[in-house]
């Protein structure tokens, strides 16, 4: 499965394929038409408690990923099945400002390693 990442506030690309929002909360100021989201996969988003703990602090990135991967593990099969059902490229959409350290980047890493820590 080819996984791409794009900030939801960027214009949709013709090569995005199946666009999946992996945020728990709908992006501020974004309309559904502009977002062009094919699937809102809330269950793939970090828990509210984890998101609040992390607070996009780069120093917490490795620990955030460890905790996030632990949250994802019981849902791995369901998430993989939903993404694979797209049958083509999948673009994981996120709203965070940090392009290098966000849940979409972590989720792609988790899935590319076959799940698990």
Domain boundary assignment for the chain: 3-112
pLDDT digits (tens, 9 = 90+) for 7-28: 999 999 999 999 999 999 999 9
Residue 62, Cα to own-chain centre: how many angstroms?
Answer: 16
Q: What pTM value is reported for the model? A: 0.92
Residue 117 in this model has a pLDDT that exceeds 50: no
Confidence of residue 46 (pLDDT cuts 50, 70, 90): very high
Residue 61 in this model has a pLDDT that exceeds 80: yes
Residue 22 CA to residue 40 CA, distance in Å, equals 6
């Amino acid at each position: 499965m080819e996984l791409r990442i794009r900030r939801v506030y960027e214009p949709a690309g013709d090569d995005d394929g199946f666009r999946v929002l992996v945020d728990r909360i709908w992006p501020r100021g974004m309309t559904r038409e502009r977002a062009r989201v094919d699937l809102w996969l809330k269950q793939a988003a970090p828990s509210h408690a984890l998101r609040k703990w992390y607070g996009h602090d780069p120093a917490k990135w490795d620990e955030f990923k460890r905790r996030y991967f632990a949250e994802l593990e019981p849902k791995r099969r369901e998430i993989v099945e939903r993404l694979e059902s797209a049958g083509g490229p999948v673009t994981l959409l996120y709203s965070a400002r940090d392009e290098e350290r966000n849940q979409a980047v972590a989720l792609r890493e988790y899935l590319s390693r076959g799940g698990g820590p």
